[in-house]
Amino acid sequence: MRLWKVVVLVDLAVLIGLGGGYLWWGRQAARLERELAQAQTAQVSVEREWTVRGVVRAVLRESNLIVLSHEEMAGYMPAMTMGFRVAAPQIYDGVQVGDAVRFTVRGVPPNVVLTGLERAPAGGGNR
């Protein structure tokens, strides 16, 4: 075989090898990402419960909401200020704006309700 043909074939082989390797690696990465995403959605598609610390920002009985600035809810949402629907009217008892609380949220995201709320021990929770 003529040398230039050998060179062309070798270069083609190298290019196909590199390109194939790159594609394989890319698909591997995409597959891993997909699996990760699946694992995460699998986590949130069943009923779960989070108990985190927060501070009461507003009590809106007429809309059945308590607005809380809260910590991260692992696997669901980062720390933020947002309103939660309240599961039972007695939860409102004694709740005041500015209270440092521990509260429990339960449900299948995004349908979650606030099922429990207690004042955090004095001194703690505000740091």
Partner 1 sequence: MSLATLGLLARWAHLGLSVAVLGSAAALLAAGRSTRPTALAWQARVLALARGLAILALVTGALSVAYQAANLTGRPGAALDARTLGQVLLDTQAGHVWLLRTALLVLLLGFLAFRADTRERADWLAARGQALGLAAAALALLTAGGHAAAVKPGSLVAMTIDAAHLVATGLWIGALLPLALLLRAASRPEGADARPQAVLAVRRFSRLALVAVLVLAATGVGNAVIQVGSVAGLVGTTYGQLLLAKLILLIPLLLLAAVNRRRLLPQLPGDAVTVGRPAMQRLAAFMAGEAALAVLVIGLAAALALTPPARHLQPTWPFAFRLDPAVLDTAPYLRLQALLGAQIAVLGGVALLVALVTRAHRLTALAGGALLGALGLALLGSALAVDAYPTTYRRPDVPYQAASIEQGARIYDQHCAVCHGITGTGDGPDGRGLPRRPANLRAAHVGAHTAGDLYWWITHGIPAGGMPGFGERLSEEERWGLVNFVRALGAVDQARKLGPTVEPQRRRLVAPDFTFAVGPMPAQALRDYRGRRIVLLVLYTLPGSHARLAQLARGYQLLSMLGVEVIAVPRDAAPNAIRRLGAETPIIFPVVTDGARDIVAAYSLFGDAPHAEFLVDRQGYLRSRWAEAGDPRRSVNLLLAEIQQLNEEPQAAPADEHVH
List residues binding partner 1 (CB under 8 A): 2-4, 6-8, 10-11, 14, 52-60, 67, 69-72, 79-81, 96-100, 125-127
CB of 77 to partner 1, least distance (A): 12
CB of 51 to partner 1, least distance (A): 12
Tell me the β-bridge partners of 50.
105
Which is closer to partner 1, CB of 89 or CB of 127?
127
Alpha helices of the chain — where are they, by DSSP H?
3-44
Tell me the β-bridge partners of 112.
107
Which is closer to partner 1, CB of 48 or CB of 57?
57
Q: Report the distance separating Cα 123 and Cα 125, nearest Å.
A: 7
Q: Report the distance separating Cα 103 and Cα 116, nearest Å.
A: 5
CB of 7 to partner 1, least distance (A): 4
